[in-house]
């Protein structure tokens, strides 16, 4: 049986990617059937795009446009909060938690530690399974099973763009940072940012001695990749060279786990990513190392 998926927030290109993949059967098990076009008036990338994406979802995929998040949650088996403005996610989740439907929250989960913790607490209170992630964590080569020995660290690169009022790295830096945490796991204790006109270099230190670097590029190519350092070798990973789309892999993981009441990304890991990004944003402003609280 195909699950009915509802969208809250139709102001991101992700909704079109998800519809292309799900409603055309690239990933079986769910179809987008309804949505509500929530948008943020003070965020041009949101308010200026919502009408176009809403019309395309209606015309190309027959998605029913409803008038509230609650109406979406009432009609759907699975809810995707896809609003591009992470500031809105706490409020939107609070409106639907009582329906007890599994929820995917598109990146960013939230843009403050307080909001992130509030979502996690509300999900636990209502026993709602929640997952939030960037599709870049599903670049398959990051998770190789080859015997290269223990991963000691990695260097990630990718495009870096800022989009106020989204704070700093929550807009595009989150992709590279999530690749790092997906590979090394939780336990990051300190971050330090060096920013130039051309790039930001973020250093991450783990409590067990491992480390990582994220190079956010502002005036170069628009590609994501990494060098993963093992005990026996170092590997180059090109996200664009993956045989399977990371977005497809992400949607497969969501449909495999959320309907069963599970999250493919532990909430504790998602909360740590929010804390890391908040620390990195602070370090970028001060130029000083910042502990991950």
CA distance 202 to 198: 13
Per-chain mean pLDDT for the chain: 96
Does residue 9 have a cis bond before it (omega within 30 degrees)?
no
pLDDT tens-place string over residues 276-287: 999 999 999 999
- DSSP at 214: E
Q: Give the domains, in start order, of the chain with CATH numbers.
A: 3-135+245-265 (3.40.50.720), 140-243+276-291 (3.30.360.10)
pLDDT tens-place string over residues 187-228: 999 999 999 999 999 999 999 999 999 999 998 889 999 999
pLDDT tens-place string over residues 34-71: 999 999 999 999 999 999 999 999 999 999 999 999 99
- DSSP at 138: G
pLDDT tens-place string over residues 124-138: 999 999 999 999 999
pLDDT tens-place string over residues 217-229: 998 889 999 999 9
Among the listed residues 274, 250, 261, the one whose alpha carbon sits nearest the alpha carbon of residue 14 = 250
């Amino acid at each position: 049986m195909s699950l009915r998926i509802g969208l809250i927030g139709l102001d991101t290109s992700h909704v079109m990617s998800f519809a292309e993949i799900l409603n055309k059967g690239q990933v079986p098990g769910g179809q987008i059937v309804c949505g509500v076009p929530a948008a943020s008036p003070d965020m041009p990338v949101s308010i200026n795009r919502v009408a176009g994406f809403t019309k395309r979802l209606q015309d190309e995929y027959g998605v029913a446009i409803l008038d509230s998040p609650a109406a979406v949650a009432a009609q759907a088996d699975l809810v995707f909060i896809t609003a591009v403005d992470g500031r809105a996610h706490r409020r939107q989740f609070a409106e639907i938690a009582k329906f007890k439907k599994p929820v995917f929250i598109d990146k960013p989960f939230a843009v403050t530690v307080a909001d992130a913790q509030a979502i996690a607490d509300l999900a636990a209170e209502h026993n709602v399974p929640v997952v939030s992630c960037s599709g870049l964590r599903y670049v398959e080569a990051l998770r190789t099973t080859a015997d290269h020995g223990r991963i000691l660290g990695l260097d990630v690169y990718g495009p870096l763009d800022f989009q106020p009022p989204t704070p700093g790295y929550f807009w595009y830096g989150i992709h590279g940072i999530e690749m790092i945490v997906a590979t090394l796991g939780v336990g990051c204790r300190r971050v330090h940012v060096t920013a130039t006109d051309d790039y930001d270099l973020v250093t991450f230190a783990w409590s067990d001695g491992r480390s990582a670097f994220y190079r956010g590029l502002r005036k170069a190519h628009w590609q994501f990749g990494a060098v993963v350092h093992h005990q026996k070798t170092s590997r180059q990973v090109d996200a664009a060279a993956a045989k399977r789309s990371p977005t497809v892999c992400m949607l497969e993981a969501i449909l495999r786990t959320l309907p069963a009441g599970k999250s493919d990304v532990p909430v504790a890991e998602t909360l740590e990513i929010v804390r890391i990004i908040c620390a990195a944003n602070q370090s970028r402003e001060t130029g000083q190392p910042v502990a991950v609280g």
